[in-house]
Structure 1
Amino acid sequence: MKKEKKRIKTGKKLTIGTWIVILGVWYFVTKLNLIQSVLVPSPYEVWISFINILEDGYNGVSLIVHLGISFKRLFIASFFAIITAIPLGLLSGYFDKVRAIVDSVIQFYRPLPPLAYYTLLILWFGIDDTSKITLLFLAAFAPIYIACVSAVTKINQDYILSAESLGASHKKIFIYIVLPASMPEIFTGLRTAVGVAYTTLVASEMVAATSGIGWMVIDASRYLKSDVMFVGIIIMGITGIFIDIALRFLEKKLVYWKGYV
């Protein structure tokens, strides 16, 4: 136990040290004018830009509204991906016939770049939030589905056979054995899916959007506002970390049998 705590403490120190080095290199590179500020603004310029956006907003829209719009798109898409991909993935992993019907469709669209079919979604659903949420839904759906299928196929078959020999129905086996055994890997899939959806968010806000944190970065790039781009990227990175922390917290509370330090 002491060794594990020491390992965690050492890991935290290394993480903090890594970011101190990164910020230090960033500061000295810009301070010595080794790179033009239009390409890499200084930490001070980025901070001032953040304060200005926080006070006055960007393009007449406050930063909170930009974040709120992006998170609304992300969370709605993730919610629908979770409630559809988890049951479908578990059923596909447990029943071969369901997998034969569903799996090939998922495997077909999964490797496609989001922008490859985003234009089709715009044609079908228009340029409002429906097409963007659908794009994020598709991006989040595949990782969750694959994680569920993988989790079920990795379950020790002795558990299922033992339950069947004791007269347990398929429904009870599914609820009391398959689902609990799959939960740890399902949460891994959730964390991956939310990350993929967040990265796709920028692509979804590139076309016919006038708000959102992803749109803010894209719009700033058109006018070479690198300080605004850095602000948006840093905000997305930090909020992404907080979302992942929240998911890990839920995992510890809900999947308590997995064991955490």
Structure 2
Amino acid sequence: MRHLVSPPAYSGEAVTHTPEAARRPPSVRRTAIRRSAPPAWLISLATIALAFLAWIAATQLGLVKPLFLPRPGSVLKAFADALDGRIDGAPLLEHVAMSLLRVAAAFVLAALIGIPLGLATGLNPTLRAVLDPFIEFYRPLPPLAYLPLVIIWCGIGETSKILLIFLACFAPVALAARAGVAAASLDQINAARALGASRVQVVRHVILPAALPDILVGLRIGMGVGWTTLVAAEMVAASTGIGQMVLNASNFLRTDIVVMGILVIGALAGAFEFGMRRLERRLTPWKGKA
């Protein structure tokens, strides 16, 4: 005699066997992944250490000639000579100070002009149609292409150097500010207007905070482009500056000084980038939290 087993009664609720990790909220899963991975600073430090060890091994074993890649000791000696002013007749701090002054002046000008102009082009389609062709035309041009024109216009003094770096920084800052205007929610703008906010108040309290993350990214990009343009700017009759020191060293095949100058420029640019990231986290703590 067969025993018929009746199926279980349907309770109206689907029985699911979802893993515990999949039922967690996305933010909890991301936190768990971050905790399981090693810290980012530790990975970066290990990468730098491996690259330095590879540099030592390649130069000590003779895999690369000193003309193409000097030994770390030679670069360190060049750094000490530069500090004492035995290179180009001026101490390294003077070269660094002049380069910092040029980049900082151009960067401040790019921020003071580029951010308001970018916001204006994002808010006014007519102004955007007028200025966008000019910005998009010169933005992909390398600075060396219009360097002779800048020299003809402004001479060989500090104005031409700062103007060249300014033109390189301006386009990323203005375009980032313009793109940030689109981040403002139309509901927030309408709500502010319904509460009686003027156009200036809407821009200040709604559009500018929404565009701030994009503006800070544009400033970071502009700062990086400014440092890459420094060497081109200091080609113009400069007596001091890190770029000028590197160019002079390249004429005499002093690869140790060239590498030392590259490391100094990279360290300064990295310090600026680190500061901009800290500023970004401070001014926009909500970024990436959604």
Classify the TM-score, shorter chain: over 0.9
Which residue of the other structure, out of 41, 44, 54, is the alignment partner of 2:83? 54
Which shows bigger deviation, 158-167 or 17-26? 158-167
Q: Which residue of 2 aligns with 1:249?
A: 278
8 Å contact kept, 2:189–2:206: yes
- C-alpha separation between the residues in 2 aligned to 1:8 and 1:62? 44
Q: 1:86 aligns with which of 111, 115, 131?
A: 115
Which residue of 2 is the match for residue 132 of structure 1? 161
Contact 1:57 1:63 in 2 (8 A): no
Q: Distance in 2 between matches of 1:120 and 1:202?
A: 17
Q: One-letter code of the match for 2:137?
A: F
Q: Which has the higher contact order (CA 8 A, sep 6+)?
A: 1
Q: Mind listing any 5+ residue stretches in structure 1 that lack a counterpart?
A: none
Give percent identity, aligned residues only: 39
Would the alpha carbon gap of residues 3 and 12 (structure 1) be closer, same or farther in structure 2, given more than 3 Å must change?
A: farther
2:183, 2:210 within 8 Å by CA — same for their partners in 1? Answer: no
Secondary structure of the residue aligned to 2:259 is helix
**Structure 1 residue aligned with 2:234:** 205
Code of the residue aligned with 1:121 in structure 2: it is V
Task: Give the structure with the larger helix fraction.
Answer: 1
Pick closer, same or farther for the CA change 1:8–1:160 going to 2, 3 Å: farther
Asked if 1:152 corresponds to 2:166, the answer is no
User: What is the correspondence of 1:32-181 to structure 2 with a 5 Å cutoff?
Assistant: 32-181=61-210
Alpha-carbon offset, residue 217 of structure 1: 0.8
Shift of residue 105, structure 1, vs aligned partner: 1.4
Secondary structure of the residue that 2:231 maps to in structure 1?
A: helix
Q: Judging changes above 3 Å, is the alpha-carbon distance between structure 1 residues 78 and 57 closer, same or farther for their aligned structure 2 residues?
A: farther
Q: Which moved more, 1:82-91 or 1:169-178?
A: 169-178
The whole-number CA distance in structure 2 between the counterparts of 1:15 and 1:6 is 17
TM-score by length of 2: 0.85
Contact 2:246 2:258 in 1 (8 A): yes
Q: Secondary structure at the match of 2:177?
A: helix
Task: Call closer, same or farther: CA 1:4–1:170 in 2, change over 3 Å.
Answer: farther
Question: Residue 169 of structure 1: CA displacement?
Answer: 2.2
Equivalent residue pairs, number: 260
TM-score by length of 1: 0.94
1:104 & 1:208 partners in 2: Cα distance? Answer: 32
Distance 1:257 1:13 in 2: 25
- Is residue 191 from structure 1 mapped to residue 239 from structure 2 by the alignment? no
Q: Deviations over 1:34-59 (max 9, x none)?
A: 11111110111111111111123421
CA RMSD of aligned residues (A): 1.7
Post-superposition shift, 1:259? 6.5
Match of 1:6 among 25, 35, 41: 35
Aligned to 2:11: none
Task: Classify 1:235/1:31 alpha carbon distance in 2 versus 1 (closer, same or farther; 3 Å).
Answer: same
Q: Give how far 1:257 is off.
A: 4.2
- 2:54 maps to 1:25: yes
Corresponding residue number in structure 1 for 2:259: 230
In 2, Cα distance between the equivalents of 1:192 and 1:77?
14
Paired with 1:125 and 1:45, the residues of 2 have a C-alpha distance of 39
- Amino acid in structure 2 at the alignment position of 1:55: D
Bigger radius of gyration among the two:
2
Q: Summarize the Cα distance change of 1:89–1:57 in structure 2 as closer, same or farther, 3 Å threshold.
A: farther
Distance change in 2, residues 1:40/1:145 (3 Å): same
